Every structure is written in C-alpha cells, then in structure tokens.
Amino acid sequence: MTELQILPVHGVPEIRPGDDLAEILAARVELRDGDVLAVTSKIVSKAEGRARPGPRQDAVAEETVRVVARRGDLRIVENRQGLVMAAAGVDSSNVAAGEVLLLPERPDDSARGLRARLRELTGASVAVLLTDTFGRPWRVGQTDIAIGAAGLDPLTDHRGRQDAHGNLLEVTLNAVADEIAGATELVKGKADQVPAAVVRGLAHLVTAEDGPGAAALVRSPENDLFRYGSRDVLFARRTVRSFTDEPVDPDAIRRAVSAAVTAPAPHHTTPWRFVVVESDGTQKRLLDAMAEAWAQDLRGDGFTEEQIGKRLRRGEVLRQATTLVVPCLVADGAHPYPDARRSEAERSMFLVAMGAGVQNLLVALAVEGLGSAWVSSTLFCPDVVRQALDLPDNWSPMGAVAVGHPAVAPTERPPRDPDDFMVRR
C-alpha cells in the first residue's frame, strides 16, 4: 500500500505580478524527485497579472462562454478555459479592494512552465498541479480540483482489469489529479495562507513528459449526458433536416413523449396522442399517400409538374428520418357551445395545448441528443393520414416530427432581441 505525506508550504508572501513563483516556492520547501506540488491557481493568477479592476459580475460576463444555470445572482457557466463552474472561476477574495482575479489564461501551460522552472532551480523531477475550489452539482460543499497539470497523467485507467472477485472493470477511470488536489486542500485551506502543498509517495505517477494536462479531465460535449443546464435546454432545440442511418432508441422516444404530456391543457384533459412510425413500410405508405394528396392539391391550384416536384422535395426530411412521430389532437374534453365564437375559442385552447405538447417533445428530443424537424404537412391531408395510419376519426394530425441522429452539427442560431417581440402597456 502506498504511504503518502502531504506537506504544507508555509511562509509564502503576497504574490505580485511578475514574481518568480517557482523561486519563491523552491526557497520554502525541499523538493525531491517524484514529489507532486499542488499550487492554488490564485497565486499563479497573481504572478501572471490576472487581477482586474471593476465589478465581479462584469468580469464573470466577460469570462463566460456559455451560461449553464442561473438562480438569482448565482451563475454556473462554462468559462474560457472550458471549465463549468460557479462565476466562471472569478475570485474576489484575498485581492485588493475594487479588484477581482481571473483564472490563469492557460492553466496547463502555467503548470508546465512552473514545472520546468522548478527543475531548473532544484534539479528535482516533480509533477505540478494547479488547483481551484469547485462545487459539485449533486453534492453539498466544495473541494479542490486540478485545473492545470504537468508531469502527471491526470487519469488512471483501470478498464480491462479485474477486481478482487474476478469481475471485469469496464468504466473505472480515476481522476487521480482531482483526487490529489482534493487531498492537498486538507493542509492548505483558504483562510490559512497556505497556497501550496507537496504530496510525497506518488513517484510512480510522476512522468518524464508533461503529459496531456488537466484539459483531459474536461468531458467533451458529445459525451456529456448533462450538457444542457436549466438555461440551455430550450435553446438546444434546432430544426434538423439531415440524419444519419443510426437507429433511434425507442426508450428515448418514450421519455420525450413523457415530457410532452406534461404540457398544460384545458379542463384537466389530456388531448395529446403521439403516433410513432417505426416501420419502413408504414412510413413509406404514409408519405407516398401524403405526397399524392399534396400533388393533387397543387395541380388544382394550377402549378406545373416542375413546380410541384420542387415543393414535394421540401418533405424529403420526413423520408430521411429514422423515426416519425405524428402528434394528434384528441379534444374529447372540449365543451360544446351553441355559438361559433365560443366554439372557436374552445378549439383554440386545445390547439395551444397541442402546440405546448409538441414543443415539449422537441426540446426533450434535443436533450436526448436527437435531432428533429416539425413539418406541417399532415395538417393539409388529415383524412389521408388517418387512413394510412389506421387512426380514429376524432384524431386530428398536427404535423409530423422527423426524428433521428443529426448528420451534421447544428448551426448557431442568430441572436434575437426579446424586445423586438414584446409590447409593454
């Protein structure tokens, strides 16, 4: 069993821009080959001149790439370093009044530079970690993590090994850099003026090369099951018109429908029905019948065959999709009224509820990592759709949703000013 020592580095003075941090630390601790030196990112930032004047919220906004969640003044954001953390890592403690401190601009490069300078000064081959305090979404309290690393592989891969019972380890990937960073916080502490610590006993983890850095600990967007925070989720929906051949998980559709039916509806009714078209034969029969009905309508309107062909191609997105979902309105709970005005209002209430259900469906599909496109064509030939799908007469098709895995990354949505869509009275 490995025996560890964690040694606090005492006597570190106030760090100022341009200070030789390696020289200051090397003068206060004896470094040996195989040691791991954990340094709080704050003193690295100070040495690199990352202090800024002005309000903290302004600095947070400037350092934010993506807002993941927001509640009151609290923001969880992705910052320029690719880290998802509170307030973009901007710190207002232990700095001059009126100033804030940003994280090192390139934490891995800072760790590599510090390691090289320590080797030059001491001759010791050590690993260097830059640490910062970090909250966890499902745990109360904070711990330290590694935001920069050099001379140590930040991950230890146990996949493919066997445990003591002979079971194959399939997902065990230890974030060893974060484990070391958290351990050093036990002897550092924000209020104790101990900004660095040496971990001794992990020489087997220290490498000759600088390694991939702590950037290897940041999960890629495509592998992030929790990519969308509470603020992101609505903006994640895009209209996708190109799909791969990868099949859609039926359970993902079920979960999306489960979200869809949480929409509000009048009179405590449940007016949503979602016809999931998974069979290639059924999909072809439905789309062929719809195309023919549309072509007949267009001929009746005087369009040429060439014009008709162009318009029919607009519906090709439905043929590309792995799965189709046809939302249907079933207004069984609508109240009857003797006059047209109130009957129309009643119908409108149910249509609004149907739209809310479809929107919930589209957003939930995006959260599942699926692309979708709502196409209105079934609204123009409801009888054809009912016949092709063998639906009851009181089911009103409300368009069709093409569902699949996007073939290309979605484009950025142009920003829209909400004031352009608001009227105040």
Position 161 scores a pLDDT of: 65
Q: At residue 409, does pLDDT exceed 90?
A: no
Structure tokens at 17: 């821009």
H/E element holding 38? strand 36-40
| The one-letter amino acid at 50 | R
Least confident residue range of 35-49, 165-179, 275-289: 165-179
Q: Minimal CA–CA distance to 149: which of 70, 216, 61, 50?
A: 216
Residue predicted with more confidence, 73 or 2: 73
19-71 confidence digits (pLDDT tens):
999 999 999 999 999 999 999 999 999 999 999 999 999 999 999 998 887 77
What is the pLDDT, as a whole number, of residue 71? Answer: 73
What does the block give as tokens for 93? Answer: 């403690």
**E-strand stretches of 151-185:** 156-157, 173-174
Residues 51, 52, 54: CA angle, nearest 5 degrees: 145
**Is residue 125 scored above 70 in pLDDT?**
yes
Ranges assigned E (strand) in 137-271 = 139-150, 156-157, 173-174, 196-200
φ, ψ at 84 (rounded to 5°): -100, 115
CATH code, 233-421: 3.40.109.10
Q: Which residues pair with 143 in a beta bridge?
A: 134
Residue position matching structure tokens 């449940």: 270
Tokens at 39, concatenated: 């340094």
Q: Which residues contact 334 (CB under 8 A, 6 or more apart)?
A: 266, 267, 269, 346, 347, 350
Structure tokens at 77: 């954001």
- What is the pLDDT at residue 168? 61
Q: How far is CA 289 from CA 292, 293, 296, 389, in A?
A: 5, 6, 11, 11
DSSP tag of 388: H
Give the span between the Cα atoms of 337 and 175, in whole angstroms: 65
Show me where the domains of the chain are located.
5-223, 233-421
The answer to whether residues 177 and 134 touch, using CB atoms and an 8 Å cutoff, is no
pLDDT of residue 172: 62
Q: What confidence tens digit (pLDDT) does each residue in 220-266 have? A: 887 887 777 766 778 888 899 899 999 999 999 999 999 999 999 99
pLDDT tops 90 at residue 374: yes
For residues 157 and 173, the answer to whether their CB atoms sit within 8 Å is yes
Q: Which residue has the tokens 């290639």?
A: 280
Q: pTM (2 decimals)?
A: 0.67
- pLDDT tens digits along 65-104: 988 877 777 888 899 999 999 999 999 888 888 899 999 9
Fold type of domain 5-223: 60s Ribosomal Protein L30; Chain: A; (3.30.1330)
Token digits of residue 185? 């916080």
Find, among 15, 213, 226, the residue nearest to 113 by Cα: 213
